[in-house]
Amino acid sequence: MSSKQGGKAKPLKQPKADKKEYDEHDMANIQKKKDEEKALKELRAKASQKGSFGGSGLKKSGKK
């Protein structure tokens, strides 16, 4: 009654997904989404170069 089953069982391999065929409408939506993501990345890069948003200088504590 000895077996070599110990630890986690290996997950079953998933079959590879078939490539989907897209029509013109789907391709337009995919391209639009990619363009929006690219624009967001550019905006994030610009914002990170400028530094902090506040620009108020030194922060004051509430104590006097």
pLDDT (tens digit per residue) in 2-49: 556 667 778 888 888 888 888 899 999 999 999 999 999 999 888 877
User: What's the CA angle centered on 38, arms 36 and 41, to 5 degrees?
Assistant: 110
CA atoms within 13 A on the CB side of 10: 4
In this prediction the pTM is 0.45
